[in-house]
């Protein structure tokens, strides 16, 4: 009998990748190796990149992803803000936000930063959220994965690929084969492994705090978040958050983190308005009873207590989710009177207008906003959707193709582009855009089928046909990236 794994277990297995590799390294010795050319001789950065991207495609094939442009853009901007102040040279990162309310974050070789929506939901300050991300960036900058294999006589690059692949197998096949594959790749028992992540975790804490300080954030927030997680675990009868399963937190680690933070410039806790807005937007998204959310927010407004701007924004989002679009527009318009240039409010109003079928009003709003924030990703997404619905798909194609020069690996852009090509009666474009979308979701064979359909349409266009054939060869070759 095939046993399907719950998504919560899948997320835990995904995060286990990080700790597995770090623990395997520490089996060999207590001191960390010095970085040098020897690390790259075992695992090159190019190999890490290829494997990480291949694993990401497989993860997308079976894990629910948050596609919301505002939430994705918030995480993307925060990750790159921190990366610019980290020890990563020339950051080339891919941020993926999983549609899960659980608390978790993980890093995968090749620059993959995975974050659960629940991380934003549960962080009390933006500094706490940034602290978790900075910690994961430190794992990448120190190349803990390559160092793990350099130190371990039992862990090979092939073993790493097998470990990553087995996590995806367990989720997609869901049966004994997947669990057996995972079991054969584990380097040691969990009990032993939990003793071996200390050095790497402490190093990631230390370097992550330096990243926070250089970014103008409170380095003590990392310890604050760890302590809050540990405290919540004491009073919970459930499994601890996945983050604690793969990033063990002890009293000594928290004490050490506070001591290190005290040596860095003190910074007051910061909470940007955008953090509050995205935290509220995420809360509404995960709410099971939207009507109850609306009533709670309205009761807060009636109670006479201070009704914060973020709560008003939450009300607009909740009205929109409940399809009470007149109320949603009234609420977001009130916020725009207060901050007429706020991208989040403009994008949310455009989203509501599109939802209402008022595409002309949406286009007018967005064209005005794009004059002051040209090429903005979030505004462009809503603008393209409005143009497509208004029978101006050719204009949407141009916008989306430009965005793809900046974000070629973002699936949502390819999905909307395929729709725009369809409305423009461009079958060749549809097949090519769909191929890229399927490829980024780990469906390589389906992607190749789309390009096969495209070839006859390009037979009189020599350069286009050559481009399609070359892309097919790239996709076929990538099938071996998980078996390096």
The tens-digit pLDDT sequence of the chain (484 residues) is 334 445 555 545 554 544 444 444 443 333 444 444 445 556 677 888 888 899 899 889 888 899 999 999 999 999 999 999 998 887 789 999 999 998 888 888 888 999 999 999 999 999 999 999 999 999 888 765 655 555 554 445 555 555 555 544 443 444 444 444 444 444 333 333 333 366 778 888 889 999 999 999 999 998 888 888 777 666 555 566 667 666 767 777 788 888 888 888 877 777 899 999 999 999 999 999 999 999 999 998 887 666 689 999 999 999 999 999 999 999 999 999 999 999 999 999 999 999 999 999 999 999 999 999 999 999 999 999 999 999 999 999 999 999 999 999 999 999 999 999 999 999 999 999 999 999 999 999 999 999 999 999 998 899 999 999 999 999 999 988 766 5
Number of Cα atoms under 13 Å in the Cβ half of residue 434: 19
Predicted pLDDT of residue 197: 60
Predicted pLDDT of residue 368: 97
Over the range 238-262, which residues count as b (16 or more CB within 10 Å of their CB) and which as e? eebbbbbbbbebeeebbebbbebbe
**Residue 366 CB partners (closer than 8 Å, separation 6+):** 346, 350, 379, 382, 383, 386
- Sign for the pseudo-dihedral over CA of 206, 208, 209, 213: positive
Q: Which of the following is catalytic: 73, 136, 312, 351?
A: 136
pTM of the model: 0.85
Catalytic residue at 341? no
CA distance 171 to 179: 9
Domains of the chain by residue range = 7-262
**Residue 401 CB partners (closer than 8 Å, separation 6+):** 417
Predicted pLDDT of residue 152: 53
Catalytic residue at 136? yes
Both structure tokens of 247:
């990033």
Tell me the residue length of the chain: 484
- Which residues make beta-bridge pairs with 95? 113
Predicted pLDDT of residue 158: 55
Distances (CA, A) of 100 to 12, 64, 118, 206: 11, 8, 6, 28
Predicted pLDDT of residue 250: 72
Identify whether the C-beta of residue 393 lies closer than 8 Å to the C-beta of residue 420: yes
Torsion of CA 419, 424, 428, 432, to 10 degrees: -30
Predicted pLDDT of residue 253: 79
Predicted pLDDT of residue 5: 47
Q: Could you read off the pLDDT of 295-353 as tens digits, one per residue?
A: 999 998 887 666 689 999 999 999 999 999 999 999 999 999 999 999 999 999 999 99
Q: Which of the following is catalytic: 205, 274, 419, 426?
A: 205
Identify whether the C-beta of residue 392 lies closer than 8 Å to the C-beta of residue 384: no
């Amino acid at each position: 009998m095939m046993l399907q794994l719950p998504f919560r277990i899948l997320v835990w297995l995904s995060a286990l990748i990080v700790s597995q590799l770090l623990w395997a390294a520490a089996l060999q010795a207590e001191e960390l190796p010095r970085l040098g050319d020897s690390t790259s001789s075992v695992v090159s950065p190019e190999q890490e990149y290829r494997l990480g991207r291949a694993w990401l495609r497989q993860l997308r094939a079976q894990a629910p992803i948050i596609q919301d442009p505002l939430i994705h853009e918030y995480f993307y901007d925060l990750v790159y803000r921190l990366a610019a102040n980290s020890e990563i040279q020339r950051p080339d990162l891919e941020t993926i936000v999983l549609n899960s309310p659980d608390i978790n974050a993980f890093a995968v070789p090749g620059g993959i930063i995975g974050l659960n929506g629940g991380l934003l939901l549960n962080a009390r300050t933006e500094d706490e959220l940034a602290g978790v991300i900075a910690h994961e960036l430190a794992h990448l900058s120190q190349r803990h994965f390559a160092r793990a294999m350099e130190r371990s006589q039992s862990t090979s690059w092939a073993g790493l690929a097998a470990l990553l692949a087995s996590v995806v197998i367990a989720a997609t096949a869901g049966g004994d084969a997947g669990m057996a594959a995972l079991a054969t790749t584990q380097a040691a028992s969990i009990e032993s492994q939990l003793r071996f992540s200390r050095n790497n975790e402490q190093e990631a804490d230390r370097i992550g705090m330096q990243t926070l300080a250089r970014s103008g954030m409170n380095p003590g927030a990392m310890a604050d978040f760890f302590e809050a997680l540990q405290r919540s675990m004491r009073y919970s009868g459930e499994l601890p958050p996945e983050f604690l399963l793969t990033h063990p937190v002890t009293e000594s680690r928290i004490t050490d983190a506070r001591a290190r933070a005290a040596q860095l410039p003190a910074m007051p806790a910061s909470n940007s308005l955008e953090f509050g807005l995205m935290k509220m937007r995420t809360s509404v998204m995960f709410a099971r009873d939207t009507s109850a959310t609306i009533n709670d927010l309205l009761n807060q407004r009636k109670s006479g207590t201070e009704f914060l701007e973020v709560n008003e924004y939450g009300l607009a989002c909740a009205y929109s989710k409940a399809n009470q679009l007149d109320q949603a527009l009234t609420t977001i318009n009130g916020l725009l009177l207060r901050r007429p240039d706020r991208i989040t409010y403009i994008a949310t109003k455009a989203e509501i207008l599109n939802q209402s079928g008022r595409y002309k009003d949406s286009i007018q709003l967005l064209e005005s906003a794009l004059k002051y924030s040209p090429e903005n990703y979030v505004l462009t997404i809503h603008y393209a959707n409005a143009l497509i619905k208004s029978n101006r798909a050719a204009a949407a194609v141009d916008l989306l193709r430009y965005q793809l020069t900046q974000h070629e690996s973002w699936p949502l852009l390819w999905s909307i582009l395929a729709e725009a090509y369809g409305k423009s009666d461009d079958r060749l474009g549809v097949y090519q855009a769909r191929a890229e979308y399927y490829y980024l979701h780990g469906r390589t064979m389906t992607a190749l089928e789309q390009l096969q359909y495209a070839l006859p349409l390009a037979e009189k266009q020599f350069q286009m046909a050559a481009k399609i054939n070359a892309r097919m060869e790239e996709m076929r070759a990538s099938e071996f990236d998980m078996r390096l």
